[in-house]
Chain A
Amino acid sequence: MPYLILASATKSTLPAWVRELGLTLRILSRNPSAVLGGMIIMTMAFLALAAPFIAPYDPIMLSLPDRLQSPGSAHFFGTDELGRDIFSRILYGARISLTIGLLVVGVAGITGSLIGAVAGYFGGVIDNVIMRCMDVILSFPALVLALSLAAAMGPSLVNAILATAVVMIPKFARLVRGEALAIREMPFVAASRVAGAGHLRIIFRHILPNCLNAAIVLATLTLGDAILIAASLSFIGLGAQPPTPEWGAMIASGRKFLMDQWWYATFPGLFILVTVIGFNIFGDAVRDVLDPRIRR
């Protein structure tokens, strides 16, 4: 018995997944693009969280005497047609865009993984029906389907998030199905079945946890796309509604003033660009580290 205690004491007392996470982070910290992407993401997350403390002005309060001022010391990025400080609105916009990205990927990732796990685990007719449904979703150009779904549900930020998530579901379903097909043949699944585990237990205890790595990689890679599609929906009027300081919606209203007030549409777009670049290069690096099998 002392022998056993000794064995576990020499190892870290942390649970396995924490150790694995630490290892992954260590490998990532040696990868320059992961570091750059991670820094961009952390900066954006910091700006989003600290928006109420950093933002010099209220993002929604009107101040008509200050309308359409060019960038300067009073307003770093100028003001919009209602006199609101664009810099402050962009900071609050970071909260919205990051939340959108996480929600879209969360909803799509969880739903898609469940669908894929069920399809891959059961196989046969169930698999066929589910995957053909996913094929139908994939036979629409992403933005077109998101647009018509959002239009059908009515213009609002929540609906735009849901519409974007639906479009992303098949990606996760396909990936997890593929993994599930392989995992269900593993001896431990057979052992679990012999021990009397039901379908649900096998899917939730064995199939899904083993797909987690691949799903996380895909989620990181999808985050940038999710932010772009949701911003596009807001730009055409199907997402965030005024006065919400969402980046895509800000560009849409700044468009009317493009010729004379260049700053209005320029700065929100720059922030979308930088944020999405951050997620894309970080996602690529995470893929290389965690799962070399997924290739775009």
Chain B
Amino acid sequence: MRSYIIKRLLAAIPVLLGVTLLTFLISHAIPGDPAALIVGPKASKEAVEAIRIEHGLDKPLPIQYLRYMNGLLHGDMGQSIRNHRPVLRDLADFFPATLELTLASLFLCLAVGIPLGILAAVYRNRLADHITRIISVIGVSTPVFWLGLMLLLLLYRNLGWLPGSGRLDITSTAPPGITGLYTLDALLAGDLGLFWEALRHLILPAFCLSYVYLAVMTRIVRSSMIAALGQDYIITARAHGLSAGRIIFKHAFKNSLIPTITIAGLSFGELLGGAILTETIFSWPGMGKYVVDSITTLDFPAIMGFTLVASTAYVGINLCVDILYALLNPRIRY
């Protein structure tokens, strides 16, 4: 087991190197003039030239890559053009909001997607199955940003059930920052009113973000449950007189966990991408909104910093998923 985990960790190193290489190439090789991007559109020729020398952009690409890596290893992702703060510090400030949103979405995905998938598998080709099929076809086809706007229109503007933007009401102050997740922090501070407020703010964006992946999750759980329910041991269990619930949850569901976890892991990475759109719609002050704001000001270091953090997180999550496989199913070893 330990050797498997070590092997898997080592295998992630070249992938991470590749990720840094690609982000480096995007930021240094594709734009016409990276120096001009760093100083922004309104800079003079002299300023661009000064930046070029200061950042070593006059050196050959391999040397530039080494400098870039050296910076990364020292936690240096460059400086934001908008506010002249280190990008890493900006991202660290915005990270908890994104984490809270993605975790809540993932929770929704699992809490709704798994029961729906099981339902669809157990009542295969009956009404419940058809309904979940329609839900999931619509889910994978919906533009997230449009869904967010429609939710706002319906639940915020027309019905007034839920707040429309931000993590808290404008008048409220954030709970003492322990985890940075407002719902959790409010609970830790024992402030139930604030917890409820943070939760109400979380519901719309989390649902919006989770909807697409909920659809995917439902289909995967359904098909792996159908495969599991067709196995001989299910027939044996039934012949033994076990109850339907016990067969479904104890025998079939447990064996359909591997594909479910794969999708959960993959979705988590895609949730980071979806967060870009959801956070923009709901003015959720996370990394996704930060990167979209950076686009409007052409804040290139910020965009690349976000790209690097998001992809590193993605690689990390896939690593965790692989290790989880081995824990769940001891037969899996590569």
CB distance from A233 to the nearest CB of B (A): 10
Q: Which of A136, A153, A237, A254 has the most CB of B within 10 A?
A: A136
Q: Would B145 and A251 count as touching, CB distance under 8 A?
A: yes
Q: Would A235 and B137 count as touching, CB distance under 8 A?
A: no
Contacts of B149 in A (CB 8 A): 251, 254-255, 258, 265-266, 269
Contacts of B326 in A (CB 8 A): none
CB distance from B265 to the nearest CB of A (A): 12
Q: Would B142 and A144 count as touching, CB distance under 8 A?
A: no
Does B64 make an interface contact (CB < 8 A)?
Answer: no
Does B27 make an interface contact (CB < 8 A)?
Answer: yes
CB distance from A100 to the nearest CB of B (A): 13
Q: Given A144-B276, A266-B153, A152 and B30 touching (CB < 8 A)?
A: yes
Q: Would B143 and A136 count as touching, CB distance under 8 A?
A: no
Q: Given A232-B145, A258-B152, A265-B149, A238 and B138 touching (CB < 8 A)?
A: no
Kindly state the separation between the CA atoms of A255 and B307 in the bound complex, as whole angstroms.
25
Q: Would A232 and B143 count as touching, CB distance under 8 A?
A: yes
* Residue interface bits A250-275, CB-to-B below 8 A is 1, else 0: 01001100110010011011001100
Q: Would B146 and A265 count as touching, CB distance under 8 A?
A: yes
Does A29 make an interface contact (CB < 8 A)?
Answer: no
Q: Would B18 and A235 count as touching, CB distance under 8 A?
A: no
Identify whether the interface residues of A are mostly helix, strand, loop, or mixed.
helix
Q: In the complex, what residue of chain B is closest to A278 when comparing beta carbons?
A: B141
The A-contacting residues of B in range 110-160, CB under 8 angstroms, are 137-138, 140-146, 149-150, 152-153, 157
CB distance from A277 to the nearest CB of B (A): 4
Q: Given A237-B296, A277-B141, A280-B141, A232 and B277 touching (CB < 8 A)?
A: yes
Kindly state the separation between the CA atoms of A266 and B146 in the bound complex, as whole angstroms.
8
Q: Would B295 and A140 count as touching, CB distance under 8 A?
A: no
CB distance from A37 to the nearest CB of B (A): 10
Q: Would B270 and A142 count as touching, CB distance under 8 A?
A: yes
Complex interface: stretch among B48-56, B78-86, B180-188, B308-316:
B308-316
Kindly state the separation between the CA atoms of A231 and B147 in the bound complex, as whole angstroms.
13
Does A224 make an interface contact (CB < 8 A)?
Answer: yes
Kindly state the separation between the CA atoms of A109 and B79 in the bound complex, as whole angstroms.
38
Does A148 make an interface contact (CB < 8 A)?
Answer: yes
Identify whether the interface residues of B are mostly helix, strand, loop, or mixed.
helix
Does A145 make an interface contact (CB < 8 A)?
Answer: yes
Q: Would B303 and A236 count as touching, CB distance under 8 A?
A: no
Q: Which of B143, B150, B314, B315 contacts A228 (CB 8 A)?
A: B143
Q: In the complex, what residue of chain A is closest to B302 when comparing beta carbons?
A: A151
Does A137 make an interface contact (CB < 8 A)?
Answer: yes
Kindly state the separation between the CA atoms of A258 and B150 in the bound complex, as whole angstroms.
9
Q: In the complex, what residue of chain B is closest to A265 when comparing beta carbons?
A: B149
Count of chain B residues with a beta carbon within 8 Å of a chain A beta carbon: 49
* Residue interface bits B272-291, CB-to-A below 8 A is 1, else 0: 11101100110000000001
Count of chain A residues with a beta carbon within 8 Å of a chain B beta carbon: 45
How many pairs, one residue from A and one from B, have CB atoms within 8 Å of each other in the complex? 138
Q: Would A148 and B19 count as touching, CB distance under 8 A?
A: no
Does A149 make an interface contact (CB < 8 A)?
Answer: yes
The A-contacting residues of B in range 10-63, CB under 8 angstroms, are 14-15, 18-19, 21-23, 26-27, 30-31
CB distance from B140 to the nearest CB of A (A): 6
Does B300 make an interface contact (CB < 8 A)?
Answer: yes
Q: Would A141 and B304 count as touching, CB distance under 8 A?
A: no
Kindly state the separation between the CA atoms of A136 and B16 in the bound complex, as whole angstroms.
8
Q: Would B295 and A273 count as touching, CB distance under 8 A?
A: no
Q: Would B273 and A142 count as touching, CB distance under 8 A?
A: yes
Q: Would B30 and A149 count as touching, CB distance under 8 A?
A: yes
The B-contacting residues of A in range 107-159, CB under 8 angstroms, are 132-133, 135-137, 139-145, 147-149, 151-155
Q: Would B18 and A151 count as touching, CB distance under 8 A?
A: no
CB distance from B295 to the nearest CB of A (A): 6
Does B163 make an interface contact (CB < 8 A)?
Answer: no
Does B175 make an interface contact (CB < 8 A)?
Answer: no
Q: Given A141-B311, A143-B274, A248-B143, A136 and B295 touching (CB < 8 A)?
A: no
Does A276 make an interface contact (CB < 8 A)?
Answer: yes
Kindly state the separation between the CA atoms of A132 and B157 in the bound complex, as whole angstroms.
49
Q: Would B144 and A152 count as touching, CB distance under 8 A?
A: no
Contacts of A276 in B (CB 8 A): 141-143
Q: Given A136-B15, A141-B269, A232-B277, A148 and B143 touching (CB < 8 A)?
A: no
Q: Given A140-B310, A149-B26, A251-B145, A277 and B291 touching (CB < 8 A)?
A: no
Q: Which of A144, A151, A154, A155 has the most CB of B within 10 A?
A: A144
Known: A151-B300, A237-B295, A258-B149. 15 other contacts (CB 8 A): A136-B18, A140-B310, A143-B274, A148-B307, A152-B26, A152-B31, A154-B31, A228-B141, A232-B144, A236-B295, A251-B149, A265-B146, A272-B146, A273-B138, A280-B141
A-B pairs, top 4 by smallest CB distance, nearest first, are A269-B146, A136-B18, A143-B273, A141-B273
| B residues neighboring A (CB under 8 Å) | 14-15, 18-19, 21-23, 26-27, 30-31, 137-138, 140-146, 149-150, 152-153, 157, 269-270, 272-274, 276-277, 280-281, 291-292, 295-296, 298, 300, 303-304, 306-307, 310-311, 314-315, 318
